[in-house]
Structure 1
């Protein structure tokens, strides 16, 4: 009886090991392969004007602290950045359609587009116009877990509040 119980336990462990080792790819994974596509390629970033985080000039050039942050991140994965300036609701729709990888614009952690945009953990805080603390996040395409983790790792290395 004891032998058969041990055999069952060993079989269960062996089965679990086979299932875990037979999985294709590494965890976490991107459902659309965004990090892999962007690496040594192009990172598509929606940018909504919100100084000092993001500034969009009339000629379409962008600047600001989050623009610099994302530019540095893109350099860390050898990617060029394609900036797409628009309002937050337009960017959320573009993210939902898979046209963007990241959205910036001094986004607060309580953005209303959580079904279209996944957010990083807050990487800094600021004071809102009402005097309350606002936690600032970056928006990432939902389901792109490898990209999310890579960005959060980058933010943590930069001294973010993660």
Structure 2
């Protein structure tokens, strides 16, 4: 009986100490959401017909507009990098980018190298495709904030 009581007390003490740590879920091991909020949002964009046009000095299109509005919601300034999908995913892995957009769908081959949002068919120019955005692996608070924004803007 004493051993059982000790076990219950130990579990209770561990639970209280974890709650007292101020731990929130989801978290960002590299603090992406915290660093971007009020700072710079480093975004990679790959050309995608109807979604992201990179033929001018600054990228344009529905994905660019969504990113700009998301950045505004975080009081962040967007820094754009235009390149190929492979290069942008590599930059995301190296912590040189916070977000990557383009013609990525929910069938993306990059799922093992990046965090991926849910698919969104309501993005103008998607033409029925389920478009996703990529974030650094493990940056779950940032991913959650982005998905909450996208849910509101374009539906799920």
TM-score (norm 2): 0.88
Unaligned runs of 5+ in 2: none
In the aligned structure 1, how far is the partner of 2:115 from the partner of 2:93?
10
Unaligned runs of 5+ in 1: 128-132
- Which residue number corresponds to residue 78 of structure 2? 81
Q: How far off is 1:58 after superposition?
A: 4.0
Superimposed CA distance per residue, residues 28-84 of structure 1 (whole angstroms, 9 cap, x where no aligned partner): 11111111000000000000000211010243x100001000110000010000010
Does 1:57 pair with 2:55? yes
In the aligned structure 2, how far is the partner of 1:149 from the partner of 1:117?
14
Quick check: which one's strand share is greater? Answer: 1
Equivalences for residues 1-80 of structure 1 within 5 A: 1=1, 4=2, 7-8=5-6, 10-59=8-57, 61-80=58-77
Across the two proteins, how many residue pairs are aligned to each other? 153
Which portions of structure 1, spanning 4 or more consecutive aligned residues, are displaced by more than 6 angstroms?
none
In the aligned structure 2, how far is the partner of 1:16 from the partner of 1:123?
40
Mapped contact 1:123–1:160 kept (Cα < 8 A): yes
